[in-house]
A and B are shown apart, each in its own frame.
Chain A
Amino acid sequence: MSRSHFSRSPRGNQDPTFTRTHSHSHSSSNPINTLGLPSPPPNGRRSSMGVEVRGMRRLEQRRNMEESHYLACNARAQNYNPPVDLRLLDYVSSYDNNLMCAICRCPFVDPVILNECDHCFCRACIRQCWNTNTTYTPLGPRGDCPTCRTPAKLGPRSATSKILVNLVDELIVQCPRKDDGCKAEVRRCEVQDHVNIYCGYTLIECTGKDCTDPVRRKDAAQSCLHYGASCLLCHKELQQWKLEAHWRSECPDRRVHCEMCKSPVFHRELEMHNKETCPAISTPCPGCSSRNKRGHAEAHAKSCTFAKLAPVLLRQQERLDEQEAAQKEMSRKLEVLEGGFTNMQGILFPSQEVENADRRSGDSNHIPYLRRSLVSPENADADAPTNDFAGFDWNFSAADVRHDGASSAETFQNGMASPPTRAAPAVPGPRPDDLPEPFSSDFDLASPPTFPPSGPYASPLHHLLSMHESLRDEMTRITSALSELDGRHSMQILNENLRTREEISYLAAQTAGLQRQMHWFTSAQLQRQQGRSPTPGASGSALGGAMMDAGAGAGVEAAVGAVSTAATALRGAARMVNVGGSASGVGMRRGTSEEGRTKL
C-alpha cells in the first residue's frame, strides 16, 4: 500500500537517499507495514493550508518512513552484529598524535574535554577509568584526570568543540569485516551505517521461507542457502552459506601464497614449506661462511671449494679436538708428577730446599738429587757412559759445592743442549747396579728385579724411601691389628673364666650335699651296729643282716672315697682356674671341667 503510494509521488524517485535506501530494502517490507503511516494532521489545518499542507505531509511521511526503515535495518542487523566499537577499527588515513586518546591510543571516540584541566579523552575511556558504569554518583560522573590528577567532572557532549569531533569523525577507516572480505573504506562516522545497512558481509536474517538463520547480506538475494554441503577440497560437511568463509580462512586444503617465494602452497603445508622446502630461505654453506638461498645452494656447492673440502675439514677438526684432549690429559699428569717430585725434593734435602728456594725458581730442569749424596765423583768417573757426561757431573757437583747457582744452571743447560748428552742423562742418576756402597745392600734386598721406570726423575733412593714408607704403614697396621686381637682375646678369657667358676661352685655345693648324706648314712649304720653288738646270741638271720650291713658299709665307704676324690679334683680344678686363668688355653680348661664331670 505504502509503496504504491510513494511510487506515484512525483519527487519520491528523485531523492537519491531514498532510492539508495529502497534498493537495500529488498529483504523485507515488513517493518514499513507494521509502523504504518503517521496519523493525519487535524482536519481544520488541512483545509486552510491546501496544497502546501499536502506537500508538507508527504515530506513528513517520507521522512518518517525512511527513519523507520533505517531503524528496522538497524534492529535486524544488530541481532547478529554487535555495535561497532570505533576504538577497534583500523585507520586508513594517518592522523595527528594530538588526536589520540591517551588511554586507548586511538583517535578520540566521542571526545570529552575536561573543563578543569583541558585534557581530552574518549567518553567511554574516561567513564571506564572512573568506573562510572558500575557506581552511581548523584552529582554526575566525576573523578581525577587520568593524566594530571586534577579533580574533574564529565561535561555534556555539547561542551566539546565541533571541530575536534569532525576531525576524528572524518578519518577513513576500514570496514570491521575486512577479514571476511569486505574491502570498503569509509569515513569513521559512517562505519556503523556501513555495517548495518550496506556491508555485504554483515549477517542478516535469511529471506527464505520459514528460515530465521543468519546469512550474509550479499547472499541474501539468492534463495535460502541453509542446506548442507561439503567442501570440494577437504570434504568437510558444512552449510552452503558458510562455504565462502571456509574457503577464505578455514579450509586446510586451500591455496595460500608463500610470503617469501610467492609460490602457491596448500595452507596445511605452509609450515613445512617455510621450514624445509621454500627456495627463498637461506641456508649456510657447510664450508665457507656464506649463506645461500635454497634455490642457489646446489649451484654454490658445486662451485665452492670449501664445500667440497667440508668432510675432510670436519674430520681434521675432530682429530684436532682429540689431540687437544689427549694433550690436556698429558699436561695434567705432568703436573701431578712435578708436584710429587717437588715433595720428594723437600723430604730429601730440606736444608737445600731453603737455601736454593729462590735460586731454583726459574730452572725447571733442576735435578737436585744428583747433588752430593748419590753422585760421588769416583762413582761417576768409574761408570760414566760418556766423557761428556762425567765432565758434566763433575762440574755440577763442583758448582754445587761452591753454591754457585748461576754457573751450575748454565753448565747443566750446556750439557743438556748437546744431543749425545741429552740421551745419556735420560737416567741421570746411577743405574741400580751402580749404586753407591751404603745403598746397594739395602736395595738388593728390597727391590724387585724390574726396577724403576726409566723416567728422568726415578732413582733407587726414591724407591727405597717409598718402600720404607709403605713398610712403616704396614707396621702400623699390624700393630693396631695385634692390639685389637689382644683385647678381644682377654675379653673372651674373662667370660669363659666366669662361667667355669660358676660351674665349680655348683659342683662343690652338690658334693657337700652328698658328703652330708654319706655322713648321715654312716652315723646311722654305726648306731645300728653299736645297738646290736651288746646282744650276745645273734641269730642266723641277724648274722645275715650283719653281713649285709657290712657289705653296705663297704659300698658306702667306697662312695665316700669317690666323693672325696671328686671334691679334691674339683678343688684342684678351681685352683688351676684361679691361678692360670689368663695363661691357660680355653680348650684345656674345658677338658678339665669335663674331667671333673666324669669323675663325679
Chain B
Amino acid sequence: MAANKRIMKELGEINTNPPPGCAIRLAKEDDINLWDVTMDGPQDSPYTGGKFHIQIVLPKEYPFKPPVLTFRTKIYHPNVTNDDKGAMCLGMLRADEWKPPNKIVDVLKLVRAVLAAPQPDDAVEAGIANEFKTDRKAFDKTAQDWVKKYAK
C-alpha cells in the first residue's frame, strides 16, 4: 500500500513536471505498475527525430526492487538488446545497484543520457558496441536508418 502511494506520488510529480522529451501515462488505467513512456530522441544524437516507446514495469516490491525497462520501439543501440524484448539494463537499473530512494524520473533521465551517449563498455550488444567504437559513421548511419524505419 505504501508502495502504491509512492508510485501515485511519483506519477503525479512526473506528470506535472515531466523530464525533457518524455511523455508518461499509464498503459492501463487500473494498473499503476505499468507505465508507458514516449521519449523523443535526444538532439545531437543519431536518434534525433525518433519517437521511442518505452515500457516501464514497476515490480510489486518497488521501490525495493528496480523497475524493468523495455524499448517497445526497435532501436540500434549498444545498451539495448536487439530482440523483441528491447531490454535495457544499465547502471542504476541493475538489481545490485538499485537504491530504493531512486525515482523513475532519475531512471528516465539516465535513459535519455544513455541515448545521447551510448556506453559501449557496458553493452549488451557486443557487435553494435564494437561498431560504435571502431566505425562511428557506420553506427550513426544504421542508427538513423532504424529511426526512420521504426521510430517515426
Contacts and interface: CB of A to CB of B under 8 A. Distances in A.
Interface stretch (B3-11, B85-93, B119-127, B129-137): B3-11
A149 B6 CA distance: 22
Interface string B1-37: 1100110011000000000000000000000000000
Given A146-B99, A146-B101, A147-B99, A105 B6 contact: yes
A87 interface: yes
B64 interface: yes
A117 to B, nearest CB: 13
A147 B101 contact: yes
A124 B64 CA distance: 13
Interface string A85-118: 1011000000000000011111000000000000
Interface residues of B, number: 11
A87 B3 CA distance: 10
A101 to B, nearest CB: 9
A578 interface: no
B100 interface: yes
- Interface on chain A toward B: helix, strand, loop, or mixed SS? loop
B100 A88 contact: no
A132 to B, nearest CB: 12
Contacts of A102: 100-101
Contact of B2 (A87, A147, A149): A87
Contacts of A146: 99-101
A87 to B, nearest CB: 4
B101 A85 contact: no
Given A103-B63, A105-B10, A129 B100 contact: yes
B99 A104 contact: no
Nearest to A103: B100
Contacts of B10: 105
Contacts of A147: 99, 101
A323 interface: no
B72 to A, nearest CB: 28
A179 to B, nearest CB: 15
Contacts of A129: 64, 100
A81 interface: no
A104 B101 contact: no
Interface in B54-81: 63-64
A128 interface: yes
Contacts of B5: 87-88, 104-106
Contacts of B6: 103-106
A104 B64 contact: no
- Interface on chain B toward A: helix, strand, loop, or mixed SS? loop
A88 B4 CA distance: 9
Contacts of A106: 2, 5-6
Interface string B45-61: 00000000000000000
A204 B5 CA distance: 27
B29 to A, nearest CB: 14
A85 B1 CA distance: 9
Contacts of B99: 146-147, 149
Nearest to B4: A88
A102 B10 CA distance: 12
Given A102-B101, A105-B9, A88 B2 contact: yes
Nearest to A128: B64
Contacts of A125: 2, 100
Contacts of A104: 2, 5-6
A94 to B, nearest CB: 14
A552 to B, nearest CB: 104
A102 B106 CA distance: 13
Interface in A121-140: 124-125, 128-129
B7 to A, nearest CB: 9
B2 A85 contact: yes
Given A105-B6, A105-B9, A88 B1 contact: yes
A12 B101 CA distance: 51
Nearest to B64: A129
Interface in A71-93: 85, 87-88
Nearest to B61: A128
B66 to A, nearest CB: 13
B18 to A, nearest CB: 17
Nearest to B5: A88
Contacts of B101: 102-103, 146-147
Nearest to A89: B5
A306 B64 CA distance: 60
Nearest to A119: B101
A104 B10 CA distance: 10
Nearest to A126: B100
Contacts of A149: 99
Contacts of B63: 103
A245 B101 CA distance: 38
Contacts of A88: 1-2, 5
B4 to A, nearest CB: 9
Contacts of B64: 128-129
Nearest to A122: B2
Contacts of B100: 102-103, 125, 129, 146
Contacts of B9: 105
18 contacts: A85-B1, A87-B1, A87-B5, A88-B5, A102-B100, A102-B101, A103-B6, A103-B101, A104-B6, A105-B6, A105-B9, A125-B100, A129-B100, A146-B99, A146-B100, A146-B101, A147-B99, A149-B99
Closest 9 CB pairs of A and B: A102-B101, A87-B2, A103-B100, A146-B100, A105-B6, A104-B2, A105-B9, A147-B101, A88-B5
Given A85-B1, A88-B5, 20 more contacts: A85-B2, A88-B1, A88-B2, A103-B6, A103-B63, A103-B101, A104-B5, A104-B6, A105-B6, A105-B9, A105-B10, A106-B2, A106-B5, A106-B6, A125-B2, A125-B100, A129-B64, A129-B100, A146-B101, A149-B99
